[in-house]
Structure formats: structure tokens, C-alpha cells
Amino acid sequence: TLLDNNEAPTLALEFADTNIIVNNTIKLMAVADDDGMPQPSSLTVLWEVVSGTDVTIATPDQATTDVTFAAVGAAVLQVTVDDGELSVSDLVTVGVSSPENNAPTVSVAFADSTIVVGSTISIVATGEDDGNPIGLTLSYAWSVKSGTAANVSIASPDQATSDVTIS
């Protein structure tokens, strides 16, 4: 008779970094080895979220998977490798942070640099932003920085494009 001296699979985790920016993806790999028992031998893999919110595991039943984190905070993932009789698990903790918030840039354009009193010109601001903080959008605020504000009328001071009349 054959004796089934099955031993639990061995497991090691491989990943590049466990500190990432929110809405990014990391690749996690479970490297498993088995003694070939029981017969027929077959390893299954299962990735699970132990804690954390808005975590998406692309292929939870594969040894290598991409994981995306849509919320700031800590997330704990567990991978389990099973040979049909015995299993082994390991945990990985991922720190998810907000990206650095850089100041937006702006450029202003208008058709003519010579403005006749009583005329109206259209001014356009083009803002570029890094998308941080997440969920917020750029806002615009036109104002007169020099000269007499009483002589300048800004039609839409809170819009990227506005008509300006000099009187």
C-alpha cells in the first residue's frame, strides 16, 4: 500500500512595493511549491481582502494578480494555497495614500493686447491640474489687480471664459 505523507504546500509572496497611491494597481505573486501529494496533485490559489475598502482583485484564483485600491488607508490581503488536503496562507498589508497635491497652472489668452475704452474683449483661462485632491475640480476667479476696478466689468468672474468691458 502507498502511504500518503502529504505535507502542506510552501508559500512565498512577491511584490514590488506595498505603499501605493490611491487608484493605482500593484501586482502580487504567490510562489507556491507542493510535494505532489495527494494524488492527483493540484494546487488552488485564492486571494481575499481581509480588511480595507474599495479593493479590487483582478484574478483572485490565480497565483499572480493585479490589485487596485480605490480608497486611502490600509488594506490587508490574504492568499491561500491548497493542495486538496492541506493549505497554507499568508498576509500582505498595503498602505494606500493620497497623491501629492501640486498647485494648478494657468495660462490666459485674449485676442488683442490693445483695448479701446468702451469695448468688450473675451478672455480665456486654461487651467491644468494634477487631479488632486481627488474629487475636486478647478475653480476660476477673475479680478482686477491694478487700475481702477470701477472702470472694468467682468461678465463671468467665476468662469474660465469671460467677457471684459473697459469703460
Write the pLDDT tens digit of every residue in 20-70: 888 999 999 999 999 888 888 889 999 999 999 999 999 999 999 999 999
pTM reported for the whole predicted model: 0.60
Q: How far apart are CA 121 and CA 110, in angstroms?
A: 7
Higher pLDDT, 109 or 135: 109
31: which residues sit within 8 A by CB, 6+ positions away? 11, 12, 13, 14, 63
Digit-coded pLDDT (tens) for 130-155: 777 766 788 999 988 876 656 888 99
Following DSSP, what letter does each residue of 62-100 receive, concatenated?
SSEEEEEE-SSEEEEEEEEEE-SS-EEEEEEEEEEEPPP
Q: Distances from the Cα of 141 to the Cαs of 54, 158, 160, in angstroms?
A: 35, 5, 8
**Can you give the pLDDT at residue 151?**
82
Beta strands 152-154; 55-57: pairing state: unpaired
Quick one: DSSP state of residue 158? T
Q: How far apart are CA 123 and CA 106, in angstroms?
A: 13
Q: What percent of the chain has pLDDT over 90?
A: 47
Q: How far apart are CA 56 and CA 78, in angstroms?
A: 13
